[in-house]
Amino acid sequence: MARSLFLRVLVFCGVLLGGVRGKTTTATTPSYTSVPVYPAPLGGRNSQDNDWLDAYDKARAFVTELTLLEKINLTTGTGWEMGPCVGNTGTIPRLGFTSLCLQDSPTGVRYADYNSLFPAGLATAATFNKELMYQRGQALGKEFLAKGANAILGPAVGPMGRTPEGGRNWETFGPEPYLQGIAGALSVLGIQDQGVMATAKHFLLYEQEHFRQVAEFQGFGWSSIEAPYSSNVDDRTLHEVYAWPFADMIRAGVASVMCSYNMANNSQACQNSYLLNRVLKDELGFQGFVMSDWGGQRSGVASALAGLDMTMPGDGLSWADDNPLWGPQLALSVLNGSVPIWRLDDMATRIMAAYYKVGQDQLTIEPNFQSWSFDTYGAVYPRSYDTPYATINKHVNARSALSSNVTATIATESMVLLKNNGGLPLQAYGSLALLGSAAGPPPLGPNGCENLECNNGTLGMGWGSGTANYPYLVTPLEAINAKVRANSMSLAYNLDDDDLDGCASTAENMDAAIVFITSDSGECLASVEGNIGDRNDLYAWHSGDDLVKAVAAVNTNTIVVVETVGAIDMEAWIENENVTAVLYAIVAGQDVGTGIAEILFGDSSPSGKLPFTVAKNTTDYPASVAYTMSSTSPQINYTEGIFIDYKHFDKNDITPRYEFGYGLSYTTFEISDVSAEVVDSANISTYADTAPAYLDAEYYNETYLPSSNSLIYPDDIPRYEYFIYPYLTVKQALNVYYNDNAYPYPNGYSTEQASSPSPSGGASGGNPALWDVLATVSASVSNTGSVYGGEVVQLYISYPTVTDIDFPIRSLRGFEKVFLDAGDSATVGFNLTRRDLSYWDVITSDWVLPSGEFGVYVGNSSRNAVNTASFEL
Ligand code: BGC
């Protein structure tokens, strides 16, 4: 277990980053700080990453040919609305290399037509179906490719969902790092198998909307804010919770990572050298490029040195200010020696390596849509008064049979049945009443509000940049009406949430009354009904509790459908015996109504499981959104550490209303015959074998710097207002003096590349030995009921006792969804890797495999994993 001196140096850094040293008092003396780590690791040095090495060979051959300005064009966006996509890089016309089109969102091609609006990440997680996770990625990839986008700005695995009210939790796969990691990685594979670059976002610790950006929140009235919030976290939590899913996505080969708006341990995420240079590019061995969130870049040289590779959308400190931090400024920084030329070369090479990695050199990718207008013919650069005009929208139908299948299947499989006292499935006869606006169409149509910034009618998605236009929206009313017709039933409805008496009288004397309530959230691009992105509370919107109570008072068979972005507080009525069933429809996309009707009528047995915990009281959760500023630089201390969601409830013995992993079915399953064993050849040493040393660092011709005069704006190219060009003005060119000591470099600044990775690094995702399978588990599952259905067999583990290390009572470490006919059985198997069984040690800055007895718990929820086994390491 002896570690080298090199390791001990890292040890020190690791402890420092932890930074849990007292409470924060003021913005000027933050208690939590982030250690500086330099230099930015050069890409293309992981000796075992063969796909990436091939891509780097091609990228180096390409970048070798580039001039300084051409390299800069790869790194800097052309400005907001200065091209068809939400992000557009500069071009290299000399080599016929067109702009890279980077487009939102994780749920579909944003700002386009003839695209799908896929179920959100959280709905996808609720299916617990790996095949669907991959297929959704594939279908998304196909649509982005059909629209001519090089990169999709997704999947999102941050926010993790530390606080249940967090506005963008629904974009990701829920507050369980293991589940986020599997879903994120399968999404990346699906997307990139189509030749589209995936972007893992948001790195890192972006857990709430409030105070994410200064100007934005000044706009919301917090005039004294001086810095975005800082998520303050210890190093173990950072690795075991928040960085965990990124490791899986990097292992899956993700092309790009987007750094976030917030600060982490008081260092801005897009210039946090510990996060980018150490965690991402060294420990996680990331070979692609880091792009800033839109406006998330807060410095020029500092961000370059700290590992940022691409700035988006290219403008500077203020939104669309035409005053870039890179572009010409990056050229100047290289010319005057502040940014070493190898850093610029590495940025360009990383971008091109990602491009080759997914095979874009074999494709013709030209955007055939424009984000800023649906007109066929229009302005190419809409913010420029002198913009050229051209055909900007070809209205290409990007949808495929795969898309339709995926959107409908996930909509159905993501439905989570939480309560069923016989209310469901509905009998195919009799009378139904539907109550509440969420049963019916949004009054202004599915896309009546920009970025879906409203909650009127059926809720299939949250709001913000994580959305796309609906091609159509199947409402529950429409889907249920069709079934009612087909089954000779009768249907009444009242869609007015405020008309409690009217709804009650519509519901009275009906065989079943189905009440639709909602809870919405989104990105703080907008405040919706007073919610600035984050939900103000966990209660149903539009007085949903009152509606349920009014209907349940008159109808003994009241079924509640909750169209929601996450957990809601149902305590006002959940135990009401007239509420006979409760179904969660978690942001299920364009086919949400179809999914709801399929389950209500029993055409499919529900098989979704909660990808988060539903508490009895909001205060039962470990953390809540910081809605007020603790200081002018808001400090958010993650004092709960690794114990978020069910791990917190388990640790503190708090009974949730419904636990993580929970969901009912119309049939019954029995799980049995659980066995666990250590793999024969497993290397069960405390630390993984050292990863191979890095390949030699390769540099381009470092001594060559062009004369500044040669970078002056040429006279013979058009110059559009607000377009970010890389060229220098005459004045700038005249004032360049090379002095590579002039910049006030941060402490610890170095230009010397390491010869070996950190102990936990060495390949994409981390030390390859972390994925060695050390133990296996198997279990049987039988459908003991009377109908076909799906069950999610879940594997949780407990750790041996280790002095001073607090482990979760249970940690999810495997899940498999199995569909079985009544009476059938299957066997499921799980692999437990070194990483699955290790914890992050802040002293050695490495994963440590504890020795002793590991408990194995298999079942169908985090609190019903009652089939046990164990193994010893
Ligand atoms: C969001 C990102 C998004 C970007 C581009 C930002 O405000 O945080 O998730 O990809 O905008 O629209």
Please tell me the residue having the least CA distance from ligand 1 atom 3: 465
Taking Cα atoms as reference points, which of 747, 725, 681 lies closest to residue 36? 747
Residue 307 DSSP symbol: T
- What's the whole-number average pLDDT of the chain? 95
Instruction: Classify burial at 827, counting beta carbons within 10 Å of its beta carbon; exposed 0-12, middle 13-18, buried 19 or more.
Output: exposed
Evaluate whether 242 touches 261 at the Cβ level (below 8 Å): no
Backbone angles phi, psi at 560, to 5 degrees: -110, 125
Taking Cα atoms as reference points, which of 270, 275, 218, 219 lies closest to residue 246? 275
Query: Is the C-beta atom of 153 inside 6 A of ligand 1?
Result: yes
Q: Is the Cα torsion angle 283, 285, 289, 293 positive or negative in sign? A: negative
Q: Return the structure tokens found at 523.
A: 């990105």
Alpha carbon of 460 to ligand 1 centroid (Å) = 20
- So what's the pLDDT on residue 630? 85
Query: Is the C-beta atom of 452 inside 6 A of ligand 1?
Result: no
Q: Is the Cα torsion angle 181, 184, 190, 196 positive or negative in sign? A: negative
Query: Is the C-beta atom of 86 inside 6 A of ligand 1?
Result: yes
Element holding 197 (H helix, E strand): strand 197-203
Alpha carbon of 523 to ligand 1 centroid (Å) = 9
Evaluate whether 153 touches 103 at the Cβ level (below 8 Å): yes
Backbone angles phi, psi at 304, to 5 degrees: -65, -45
pTM (two decimals): 0.96
**Angle, CA of 603, 608 and 613, to the nearest 5°:** 145
Query: Is the C-beta atom of 305 inside 6 A of ligand 1?
Result: no
Q: Buried b / exposed e across 853-873, counting CB within 10 Å, b at 16+?
A: ebbbbbbbbbbebebebebeb
Alpha carbon of 176 to ligand 1 centroid (Å) = 23
Please tell me the residue having the least CA distance from ligand 1 atom 6: 294
- So what's the pLDDT on residue 29? 53
Q: Which residues belong to the active site? A: 293
Query: Is the C-beta atom of 201 inside 6 A of ligand 1?
Result: yes
If you write DSSP's letter for every residue of 92-144 in order, what string do you get?
A: BGGGTBPPPEEE--TTS-TT-SS---PPPHHHHHHHT-HHHHHHHHHHHHHHH
Residue with tokens 């929206």: 473
Mean pLDDT of the 443-458 span: 97
Alpha carbon of 464 to ligand 1 centroid (Å) = 8
Residue 24 DSSP symbol: -
Whether omega before 39 lies within 30 degrees of 0, making that bond cis, reads yes
Query: Is the C-beta atom of 465 inside 6 A of ligand 1?
Result: yes
**Angle, CA of 433, 437 and 438, to the nearest 5°:** 90
Q: Is the Cα torsion angle 497, 499, 501, 507 positive or negative in sign? A: negative
Q: Return the structure tokens found at 659.
A: 């636990």
Alpha carbon of 293 to ligand 1 centroid (Å) = 6
Alpha carbon of 216 to ligand 1 centroid (Å) = 13
| pLDDT tens digits for range 502-536 | 999 999 999 999 999 999 999 999 999 999 999 99
Please tell me the residue having the least CA distance from ligand 1 atom 8: 293
| pLDDT tens digits for range 831-864 | 999 999 999 999 999 999 999 999 999 999 999 9
Please tell me the residue having the least CA distance from ligand 1 atom 5: 294
Instruction: Look at phi and psi of residue 315 and say left if phi exceeds 0, alpha if psi is from -120 to 50, else beta.
Output: beta
Mutation choice for ligand 1 from 88, 144, 153, CB with most ligand atoms inside 8 A: 153
Query: Is the C-beta atom of 534 inside 6 A of ligand 1?
Result: no
Which atom number of ligand 1 is nearest to the Cα of residue 313? 5
Which atom number of ligand 1 is nearest to the Cα of residue 153? 10
Which atom number of ligand 1 is nearest to the Cα of residue 206? 8
Query: Is the C-beta atom of 216 inside 6 A of ligand 1?
Result: no
Taking Cα atoms as reference points, which of 616, 535, 537, 612 lies closest to residue 572? 616
Query: Is the C-beta atom of 260 inside 6 A of ligand 1?
Result: no
Query: Is the C-beta atom of 206 inside 6 A of ligand 1?
Result: no
Which atom number of ligand 1 is nearest to the Cα of residue 154? 10
Residue 3 DSSP symbol: -
Mean pLDDT of the 788-798 span: 98
What is the rounded CA–CA span in Å between residue 302 and residue 307? 9
Kindly tell me if the per-residue pLDDT of 26 is higher than 60: no
Element holding 417 (H helix, E strand): strand 416-420
Taking Cα atoms as reference points, which of 784, 795, 809 lies closest to residue 866? 795
Query: Is the C-beta atom of 294 inside 6 A of ligand 1?
Result: yes
Please tell me the residue having the least CA distance from ligand 1 atom 7: 294
Q: How confident is the model at residue 428 (pLDDT cuts 50, 70, 90)?
A: confident
Taking Cα atoms as reference points, which of 613, 477, 82 lies closest to residue 312? 82
| pLDDT tens digits for range 214-254 | 999 999 999 999 999 999 999 999 999 999 999 999 999 99
Mutation choice for ligand 1 from 270, 312, 463, 465, CB with most ligand atoms inside 8 A: 465
Please tell me the residue having the least CA distance from ligand 1 atom 11: 294
Q: Return the structure tokens found at 712.
A: 């002056």
Mean pLDDT of the 660-677 span: 98
Evaluate whether 584 touches 415 at the Cβ level (below 8 Å): yes
Instruction: Classify burial at 5, counting beta carbons within 10 Å of its beta carbon; exposed 0-12, middle 13-18, buried 19 or more.
Output: exposed
| pLDDT tens digits for range 700-758 | 977 789 999 999 999 988 899 999 999 999 999 999 999 988 999 998 999 999 999 99
449 three-state secondary structure: coil
What is the rounded CA–CA span in Å between residue 42 and residue 695? 10
What is the rounded CA–CA span in Å between residue 863 and residue 652? 14
Please tell me the residue having the least CA distance from ligand 1 atom 2: 293
Alpha carbon of 404 to ligand 1 centroid (Å) = 26
- The crossing angle, in degrees rounded to 10, of helices 68-75 and 341-357 is 60
Q: How confident is the model at residue 32 (pLDDT cuts 50, 70, 90)?
A: very high
Which atom number of ligand 1 is nearest to the Cα of residue 105? 10
Kindly report the number of other CB atoms within 10 A of residue 771's CB atom.
Answer: 18
- So what's the pLDDT on residue 20? 30
Mean pLDDT of the 54-58 span: 98
- So what's the pLDDT on residue 807? 98
Query: Is the C-beta atom of 293 inside 6 A of ligand 1?
Result: yes
Query: Is the C-beta atom of 769 inside 6 A of ligand 1?
Result: no
Kindly tell me if the per-residue pLDDT of 7 is higher than 90: no
Rg of the chain (C-alpha set): 27
Query: Is the C-beta atom of 104 inside 6 A of ligand 1?
Result: yes
What is the rounded CA–CA span in Å between residue 820 and residue 132? 17
Mutation choice for ligand 1 from 257, 293, 310, 311, CB with most ligand atoms inside 8 A: 293
- So what's the pLDDT on residue 369? 98
Mean pLDDT of the 335-359 span: 97
What is the rounded CA–CA span in Å between residue 820 and residue 622? 37
Alpha carbon of 496 to ligand 1 centroid (Å) = 34
Taking Cα atoms as reference points, which of 76, 82, 100, 75 lies closest to residue 151? 100
Evaluate whether 742 touches 335 at the Cβ level (below 8 Å): no
Alpha carbon of 151 to ligand 1 centroid (Å) = 13
Whether omega before 202 lies within 30 degrees of 0, making that bond cis, reads yes
Evaluate whether 839 touches 799 at the Cβ level (below 8 Å): yes
Which atom number of ligand 1 is nearest to the Cα of residue 202? 9
State which amino acid sits at residue 821: D
Please tell me the residue having the least CA distance from ligand 1 atom 12: 465
Alpha carbon of 399 to ligand 1 centroid (Å) = 23
Evaluate whether 160 touches 205 at the Cβ level (below 8 Å): no
Mutation choice for ligand 1 from 102, 259, 294, CB with most ligand atoms inside 8 A: 294
Alpha carbon of 186 to ligand 1 centroid (Å) = 22
Alpha carbon of 87 to ligand 1 centroid (Å) = 10
18 three-state secondary structure: helix
| pLDDT tens digits for range 578-636 | 999 999 999 999 999 999 999 999 999 999 999 999 999 999 999 999 999 989 999 99
Which atom number of ligand 1 is nearest to the Cα of residue 171? 9
Which atom number of ligand 1 is nearest to the Cα of residue 261? 8
Which atom number of ligand 1 is nearest to the Cα of residue 199? 10
Please tell me the residue having the least CA distance from ligand 1 atom 4: 294
What is the rounded CA–CA span in Å between residue 164 and residue 184? 20
Query: Is the C-beta atom of 110 inside 6 A of ligand 1?
Result: no
Alpha carbon of 77 to ligand 1 centroid (Å) = 14
